[in-house]
Amino acid sequence: MEFAERLQSANRWTAEVEAVFGSLPTYTQLGMASLLPGKRLAVDGATASVIVDGRSASGTDNRSEILRSACDAKAIAIHADEFLELNSKTDGRALMRDNEVIYIFHDHIDNVGDKNKTEAKALDAVEQAFEELEQIIKKVANINGSNMLLTADHGFLFQQIEVDDSDMTPLPPSAEWTFHNRRFALGKGIAAGPKVKVFSAAALGLGGDWDAAFPLSLGRFPLKGSGKRFVHGGLSLQEVIVPVVKIHKARVDDTGLVEVELLRAPAKITTGQVSISLFQDRPAIEKVLPRTLRAGVYSKDGAELSEIKTLTFDSKETEARNRETTVTLTLSRAADAFNNQEVELRLLETVQGANQTVVYKSHSLKLQKPFASDFDEL
């Protein structure tokens, strides 16, 4: 959701978030295979490797072959690092021209979280993944791609503090164990218990002669040499519910800035200060971007007669009255020379992409102080 909101606020991008159920067990090999076209998935009970319609789904090359067989050879799977190294004008556009479907696999979070020495950096890995995914989708747009789906092979559990012994769930009795990690184990004749849920391969919609055991809640099976804080493969909602972000890059601008209205301003300035009320017309959310203005009092020929205040109108409040701002400007000594003359209250804005300032809005008023401001600043 956070990543989609980043895109949604950017010019020409739209991002809609939906959710699907992932495959159980929620581990990488099965999750990635489940995202491929195919009618029948089978899991080897000894290695947990996955077969799609009789083809191995291990490795990018094998997944690419499964794609090509389903798309009349007009599809390819490629790793994110390899994709980002492509020359956009040549290799990248050729890739887009020659394929109707392109799968780009990104695995930075797993690479960090699945290792005992680096699992504590899982949240940093998520932030870096956001940055790299943004680079990927922008590059897709640069090579003439406009419609993208962003999803995940599985979710994960993570806690920053060390896992307490009470969160460790012993493996239940079984006739045989053939494979296991922290969040699931495969075997035969597994006995269910109050802390363990057991499914057959058939119950999970998979081919294979095995049963799967899952620790309930936040439980983890003991496994020597592996990390405990970053885990996946289980049946918690965090692992099973997988996001799907539908991304589109439009050809025309679709963002705009908030408008700012001058609600209240005096007709005359009779003291050393002037107060005004400004109103932001709508919340700065999604495609509505903040606006930054500089407020000040000026002579008709542009001389500054007061302090200049920079104001950013970025309120996300939906209640209109909460988007009103009161600003007080103190006149400078330069204003004394313009007493009894017409001056202007100006809201100035810098043009985006140019070093140029324009008057966004102005209001004429008369500077009519009873005497000069020599004592106003004491």
How do residues 120-139 score in pLDDT, each as one tens digit? 999 999 999 999 999 999 99
Give yes or no for a contact between 115 and 227, defined as CB atoms under 8 angstroms apart.
yes
Q: What's this model's pTM, rounded to 2 decimal places?
A: 0.70
Q: Is the Cβ–Cβ distance between 365 and 266 less than 8 Å? A: yes
Give residue 316's identity as a one-letter amino acid code: K
Q: In DSSP terms, which residues pair with 298 in a beta bridge?
A: 304, 344
User: Which ranges in the chain are annotated with CATH 2.60.40.2550?
Assistant: 256-367
What's at 1, amino acid-wise? M
Q: Class assignment of domain 256-367?
A: mainly beta
Q: Using alpha carbons, select from 159, 160, 162, 185 the residue that is nearest to residue 174.
A: 185
How many C-beta atoms lie closer than 10 Å to residue 321's C-beta? 7
Q: What is the rounded average pLDDT of the residues 311-324?
A: 93
Q: How does residue 375 score in pLDDT terms, banded at 50, 70 and 90? A: very low
Across 112-231, where does the E strand assignment appear? 147-151, 157-158, 176-180, 185-188, 196-200, 211-215, 230-231
* Higher-scoring residue by pLDDT: 185, 116: 185
pLDDT digits (tens, 9 = 90+) for 49-86: 999 999 999 999 999 999 999 999 999 999 999 999 99
How do residues 190-224 score in pLDDT, each as one tens digit?
Answer: 998 899 999 999 999 999 999 999 999 889 998 88
Instruction: Kindly state the average pLDDT of the residues 220-239.
Output: 89
